[in-house]
Amino acid sequence: MGFRPDTSSPDGLADLLEVLVVTGHACSVEEMVDYLLEAETVADGDVDYPDERRESARRLADGAFDVAAQRTLVNDRSRVAPGTAFDGYPFQLDYNGYRLVHVRSSDSAYEFLLALSLSYEGPRRPITNHDRKLFEEVCARAAHAYVGGHSNPLVGSWAFGSPRRGGPWGFREALDELCHRLGECSGARDDLPVASGGDGGLDVVVWSDFPDRRPGKLIMLGQCATSRSDWTEKLHALANPKGWFEEFMLHNQPPIAAPAAATFVPFVVGERDWGRARRDGVVLFDRQRIACFAQGMDGNLGDECRKCAQELLEQAIDP
| CATH number of the structural domain spanning residue 296 | 3.40.1350
Please indicate, yes or no, if residue 111 is contained in any of the structural domains: no
DSSP E strands, 110-268: 155-159, 204-208, 218-224, 260-264
Alpha helices (runs of H) in 148-263, residue ranges in sequence order: 171-182, 231-237, 241-248
The pLDDT confidence band at residue 106, using thresholds 50, 70 and 90, is low
- pLDDT of amino acid 2: 58
pLDDT at 83: 41
Q: Are residues 45 and 85 in the same domain?
A: yes
CA atoms within 13 A on the CB side of 93: 19
Cβ atoms of 283 and 243 within 8 Å: the answer is: no
Contact by Cβ (8 Å): 142, 290: yes
Question: Are 89 and 136 in the same domain?
Answer: no
Q: Verify that 139 and 286 share a domain, yes or no.
A: yes
* Domain match, 35 and 136 both: no
Residue 289 falls inside a structural domain: yes
Coarse DSSP helix, strand, coil percentages of the chain, rounded to the nearest 5 percent: 50, 10, 40
Q: Looking at the structure, do residues 28 and 134 belong to the same domain, yes or no? A: no
Same domain, 82 and 182: no
Of residues 107 and 300, more confidently modeled: 300
- Between 124 and 9, residue with greater pLDDT: 9
Q: Is residue 78 part of a domain?
A: yes
Looking at residues 130-137, what average pLDDT do you find?
Answer: 95
| Euclidean distance between CA atoms 139 and 127, whole angstroms | 17
Region 67-81: what's the mean pLDDT? 71
The average pLDDT across 180-186 equals 93
Mean pLDDT of 42-50: 56
Element (DSSP H or E) covering residue 93: strand 91-94
- Pick the more confident residue, 9 or 175: 175
Domain boundary among 73, 105, 137: 105
Q: Is the pLDDT higher at 214 or at 123?
A: 214
| For residues 251-273, average pLDDT | 88
Please state which of the ranges 47-56, 150-159, 211-220 shows the lowest mean pLDDT.
Answer: 47-56
Is residue 68 located within the same domain as residue 176?
no
Q: Are residues 161 and 70 in the same domain?
A: no
Share of the chain above pLDDT 90, in %: 44
- Return the pLDDT at 5: 66
**Residue 80 reports pLDDT greater than 90:** no
User: For residue 121, is it within any domain?
Assistant: no
CA gap 90, 74 in Å, rounded: 10
Instruction: Find the domain containing 151 and state its range.
Output: 129-307
Q: CA-to-CA distance for 73 and 34, rounded, in angstroms?
A: 27
Q: Last residue of a domain, which of 70, 105, 140?
A: 105
Range with the poorest average pLDDT among 40-44, 71-75, 241-245, 284-288: 40-44
Are residues 158 and 63 located together in one domain of the fold?
no
Is residue 228 within 8 A of residue 172, CB to CB? The reply is no
- Tell me: pLDDT of 171 over 60: yes
Co-location of 142 and 234 in the same domain:
yes
Is pLDDT larger for residue 167 or for residue 178?
178
Name 213's Cβ contacts closer than 8 Å, sequence gap at least 6.
Answer: 183
Question: Which pTM does this prediction carry?
Answer: 0.89
Which element (helix H / strand E) includes 130? helix 129-147
CA angle 13, 116, 95 (to 5 degrees): 35
Last residue within a domain, chosen from 105, 120, 151: 105
> Cβ neighbours of residue 62 under 8 Å, at least 6 residues apart?
29
Q: Is residue 318 part of a domain?
A: no
- Overall domain count for the chain: 2
144 located within any domain: yes
- Give the mean pLDDT of 89-111: 81
What pLDDT does residue 90 have? 85
Task: Write down the H helix ranges in 183-298.
Answer: 231-237, 241-248, 271-280, 287-293
* Whether residue 149 sits in one domain with residue 38: no
> Is residue 260 in some structural domain?
yes
Q: What percent of the chain shows pLDDT beyond 70?
A: 86
Rounded to whole angstroms, how far apart are CA atoms 23 and 56? Answer: 24
Same domain, 154 and 94: no
Domain assignment present for 293: yes
Higher pLDDT, 282 or 154: 154
What are the φ/ψ torsions at residue 206 (nearest 5 degrees)?
-140, 145
pLDDT of residue 315: 79
Supply the DSSP symbol for 18: H
What does the DSSP 8-state code read for residue 230?
T
CB count within 10 Å of CB 29 equals 19
Residue-level pLDDT at 304: 94
Residue 274 has pLDDT above 60, yes or no: yes
Helix or strand run (H / E) with residue 112:
helix 108-116
Query: What pLDDT is stored for residue 195 in this prediction?
Result: 62
pLDDT, greater one: 238 or 279: 238
